């Protein structure tokens, strides 16, 4: 049974709002009455998500935003606050997985792209959220980290490094912002699927040709699942439930925490 949290009259801002996790989280909060502000570069997909949310009869807004641009982020926050009055929760979710390659072959341009989106972009949103929530009297932020930022997976140098950074930023920001009644936590999903990202991950790991995974993506799927204590994939709903818990009053005592979803050690 999914826990019911009271978010009526509140607003959540979700970056990466056009993606699967962003959509699932938007639906989770809309179910409990929250208004939803979606931020993404993919405007057509973001509008599709917004259309699907209309059945929940909650306030909805879409805002084009490149998280690697501080100016874009500032404008998106200003526009969202103008529409909703205030933002109560921020799900700092936008990210890029990058290519799969061994360290000696990892392309520098892709490494820079991953860092720009997953570290600099997360910083831009975190800073803007902190400024707004401090003025508003408090709130909650959840940064999207990853199990990759806990274990350092093979062939994912940039992504793993970026998510380690997100966990570190979360812990520091939690200390900095606690005096202003702002809680900051991270969420680290392990293997989430089925879906495009899960299929992409298994195919790319198989293609690397490393000692860790088979050359057959179907075998890789089982190898990866068997590496988890729970021996199963996590679902989008479980990720969204984790975000909802960390934002809720039931988690009012939690800050600086990294919640691992399905498969944490």
Could you give the residue ranges of the DSSP H alpha helices within 41-69? 43-53
Do 213 and 206 meet the contact criterion of CB atoms below 8 Å apart?
Answer: yes
First to last CA, the chain: 24
Helical pair 121-136 and 157-177, crossing angle rounded to 10 deg: 20
The angle subtended at Cα 250 by Cα 179 and Cα 229, nearest 5°, is 105
Distance from C-alpha of 42 to C-alpha of 131, rounded to nearest angstrom: 26
Rounded to an integer, what distance in angstroms lies between the CA atom of residue 215 and that of residue 38?
Answer: 38
Q: Which of 147, 159, 212, 253 is catalytic?
A: 159
Say which residues have a Cβ less than 8 Å from residue 243's Cβ, sequence separation at least 6. Answer: 25, 28, 91, 142, 187
Q: Is 159 a residue of the active site?
A: yes
Any idea which residue has 């606690």 for tokens? 178
Residue 179 C-alpha from the chain's centroid: 24
Neighbour-count burial for 142-170, b at 16+ CB within 10 Å, e otherwise = bbbbbbbbbbebbbbbbbbbbbbbbbebb
Catalytic positions, please? 159
């Amino acid at each position: 049974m999914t826990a019911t949290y009271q978010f009526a009259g509140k607003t959540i801002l979700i970056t990466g709002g056009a993606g699967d996790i962003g959509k699932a989280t938007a639906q989770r909060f809309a179910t409990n009455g929250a208004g939803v502000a979606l931020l993404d570069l993919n405007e057509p997909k973001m509008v599709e998500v917004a259309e699907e949310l209309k059945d929940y009869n909650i306030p909805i807004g879409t805002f084009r935003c490149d998280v690697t641009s501080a100016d874009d982020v500032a404008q998106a926050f200003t526009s969202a606050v103008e529409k909703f009055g205030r933002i109560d929760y921020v799900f700092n979710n936008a990210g890029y997985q990058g290519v799969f390659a061994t360290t000696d072959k990892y392309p520098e341009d892709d490494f820079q792209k991953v860092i720009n989106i997953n570290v600099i972009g997360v910083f831009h949103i975190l800073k803007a959220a902190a400024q707004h929530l401090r003025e508003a009297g408090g709130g909650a932020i959840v940064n999207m980290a990853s199990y990759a930022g806990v274990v350092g997976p093979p062939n994912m140098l940039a992504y793993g490094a970026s998510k380690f950074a997100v966990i570190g930023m979360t812990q520091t920001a939690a200390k900095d912002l606690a005096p202003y009644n702002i809680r900051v936590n991270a969420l680290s999903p392990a293997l989430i699927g089925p879906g495009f990202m899960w299929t992409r991950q298994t195919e790319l790991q198989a293609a690397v040709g490393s000692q860790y995974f088979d050359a057959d993506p179907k075998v890789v799927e089982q190898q990866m699942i068997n590496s988890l204590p729970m021996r199963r994939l996590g679902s989008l709903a479980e990720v969204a439930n984790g975000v909802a818990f960390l934002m809720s009053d039931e988690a009012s005592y939690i800050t600086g925490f990294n919640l691992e979803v399905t498969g944490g050690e």
